[in-house]
Amino acid sequence: MEQPKYPASWSMFQRFLVKQIQESMKSIGRNSGRKSAAPQSEINHALMSAIEWLLYFFCLMDRSKISNLALSITHLTIPRVPTIGFENNVKGTFSAEWIVPSGATDDTPVILYSHGGGYVVGSTLTHRTITMGLAKRGVRVLSINYRLSPKNPFPAALTDGVSAYKYLLTEMKIPPSKIVLSGDSAGGNLALAIAMFCRDQRIPMPSGIAPLTPWCDLSGNSPCTFIEDEFSADILSGGRGFTALGKLYAKVPSYMSLPYVSPIHDIPSKAAPLPPMFFTTGTVDRLAPEIFAMFLKRVDAGETCQLYIFQDQMHAFQLLSFVPSSSTALDLEVEFVKKVTAGIPIQTAVCTVMPDGQRIEELTLDNVRNMLKSLIDRGTRAVKNDEVAVKVFAPYVQAIRSKL
């Protein structure tokens, strides 16, 4: 098998980290592909032994910066509340972290953050590089340990996410206008799902949503599932290894097309639009087509969205705080959060960020359409079956044509 083609801008340390994560993701794929799904402890060990150790190792190397952050971390227990139509009689509690910067007041914006990890791994601890990074920029963060599959498949995570949002509203008395939903990868998926559930149940909506490299299509039918070379450096593998995780989360086949599972299938409502959205992806992110399609679909329906495409960056690159683009991405997210929670209007925009994290250039919606079309064309060639490609890539083709 050919070696990954890492971008020239990557440091040796970033290449080392990504290589270890790639090996763990292969283990996850092998486990999740079994006829009898591996126990959660086995899946956790496969990924945690590499990813958590590496993240903690980096935190130790970077401890001088972390120790100097003027933040307080409080551990909370949040009661679960029913999600009508899914978990009507749910009980129990789950843990969370309340991260507050020095000098915060009742008016300081709040981010409800859901960690990534394919809905099978991850925790508040594994994602502190992001949550603490956000908090040090002047926002409060509620980071949650939602239930994980395969032991707790959909709708468990949705129930916990909605419960956390209601906890902010009812127990902590935080106005929805001061809250933004965020998360990376599966956590970005969950942030979108929480917002859609609130919209459908007429629960007061947050002021914004900030999905970071979100997983929008759990079916695994993204064009980049089938494209190898240019995405070989991503932490997500091609083929069906990673996408098998979607089946662990959506164990009932019909759930896969639910917007609360695969947000790409949501039909925007002009009568009840989602609040402003802030998307990020990278040119090495295997989920880029999903994010492009999601962005175009929402914008074409009249919703306000910002999309930042980071050159040479992989999936969930915000975890690597030593990468300049990671810092820039968090800066841009907090800028978005502070604006929407202050009631400052924002405009739909597309920008690309250079590898140095400093140079930002504006793009057009047509640029995004052309990038998505190119990925669909390459995915179609890789599938080598036009009839199959037309079927599996339908949501992506529809996103391109929605304004034509």
What's 170's DSSP letter?
Answer: I
* Number of other CB atoms surrounding residue 326 within 10 Å: 21
Residues in the chain: 404
The catalytic position among 114, 185, 232, 321 is 185
CA distances from 358 to 329, 338, 354 (A): 10, 21, 7
User: Is the bond into 155 cis (omega within 30 degrees of 0)?
Assistant: yes
Cα–Cα nearest to 329, from 212, 192, 246:
212
Question: The tokens 């091609």 sit on which residue?
Answer: 238
Strand arrangement, sheet containing 110-114:
71-79, 93-101, 140-144, 110-114, 179-184, 208-212, 277-282, 305-310, 349-353, 360-363
Q: Which residues of 61-79 are buried (b: 16+ CB within 10 A; e: fewer)?
A: eeeeebeeeebeeeebebe
Catalytic annotation present for 185 = yes
3-state SS assignment for residue 72: strand
**In the structure encoding, which two tokens stand for residue 141, read together?**
């963060």
Q: Which residue, 212, 211, 217, 193, is CA-closest to 203?
A: 193
- Alpha-carbon gap, residue 47 to 57, rounded angstroms: 15
Give the residue numbers marked as catalytic: 185
